[in-house]
């Protein structure tokens, strides 16, 4: 994302909502990604590539290459259904029976085994005597759902992991969980992709330092490596003006 693009967007926001973002320096973090929806005319005009729908391709009927099937997924919300269609197609080619009573049609997604969100929050508040604020319990429930205990179990190893990073609702235990159970290998993995540390703008420097120290302990980083990881995160935030 170039600075002129941010300036253009800031002007659009200011025009629609005067005073909301009056200066480009107020932008704390930039999230970019693929545009999933749009019209063909705009796609050609702006050189964009819209992923509008998932595609299941039977190369046997289209290209004459029997036994080859391609599934191009676009949305996580339709992934299970598209996978079922692909399996149905493949089992048909293998002349095997397709089990339409597949448990994936009704099995809860990871962390989704609960009847109400309030139920999960109550379970968190009463978990092994660990006290979390309402905001902290809410964040934990949103991010881990019914599998919140996968995070809180690490507090039994080291009680300090029960505390949150300054100015956030992110538990230090989430960092350990990210490394041990979600394959986080870099500080950027944890800050941007495993926790909410970097969701609402740049974390405080002391938060980055604490997070890096926890990861260094888990992954046996040297001081040089730890500092390099912190600098790598800092480079992800815009320096404007």
pLDDT value for 37: 53
Tell me the angle at which helices 173-181 and 205-219 cross, rounded to the nearest 10 degrees. Answer: 40
Q: Which two tokens stand for residue 66?
A: 């029997």
Q: How far is CA 233 from the centre of its chain?
A: 16
Give the burial class of 215: count Cβ atoms within 10 A of its Cβ; 0-12 exposed, 13-18 middle, 19 or more buried: buried
pLDDT value for 38: 55
pLDDT value for 26: 77
Low-confidence ranges of the chain (pLDDT < 50): 240-241
Q: Report yes or no: 151 and 189 within 8 Å, Cβ to Cβ.
A: no
pLDDT value for 98: 83
Dihedral in degrees, nearest 10, Cα atoms 109, 114, 120, 126: -120
* Maximum Cα interatomic distance, the chain, rounded to a whole number of Å: 64
pLDDT (tens digit per residue) in 65-102: 988 999 988 777 888 889 989 999 999 999 998 887 77
pLDDT value for 241: 44
pLDDT value for 239: 64
Task: In whole angstroms, give the CA distance from residue 181 to residue 143.
Answer: 14
In this structure, what DSSP letter does residue 204 have? P
Q: Which two tokens stand for residue 238?
A: 């815009």
């Amino acid at each position: 994302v170039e600075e002129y693009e941010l300036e253009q967007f800031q002007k659009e926001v200011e025009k629609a909502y005067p005073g909301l973002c009056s200066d480009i320096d107020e932008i704390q973090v930039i999230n970019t990604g693929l545009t999933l929806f749009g019209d063909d005319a705009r796609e050609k005009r702006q050189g964009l590539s819209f992923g509008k729908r998932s595609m299941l391709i039977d190369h046997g009927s289209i290209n004459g290459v029997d036994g080859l099937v391609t599934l191009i997924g676009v949305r996580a919300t339709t992934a299970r259904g598209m996978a079922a269609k692909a399996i149905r197609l493949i089992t048909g080619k293998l002349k095997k029976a397709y089990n339409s009573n597949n448990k994936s049609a009704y099995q809860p997604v990871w962390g989704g085994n609960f009847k109400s969100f309030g139920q999960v929050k109550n379970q968190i508040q009463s978990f092994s005597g660990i006290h979390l604020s309402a905001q902290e319990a809410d964040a934990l429930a949103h991010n881990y759902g019914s599998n919140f205990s996968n995070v809180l179990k690490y507090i039994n190893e080291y009680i300090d992991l029960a505390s949150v990073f300054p100015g956030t609702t992110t538990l230090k235990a989430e960092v350990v969980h990210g490394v041990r159970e979600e394959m986080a290998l870099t500080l950027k993995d944890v800050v941007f992709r495993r926790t909410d540390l970097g969701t609402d703008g740049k974390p405080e420097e002391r938060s980055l330092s604490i997070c890096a120290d926890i990861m260094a302990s888990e992954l046996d980083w040297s001081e040089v490596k730890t500092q390099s990881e912190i600098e790598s995160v800092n480079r992800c935030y815009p320096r404007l003006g």
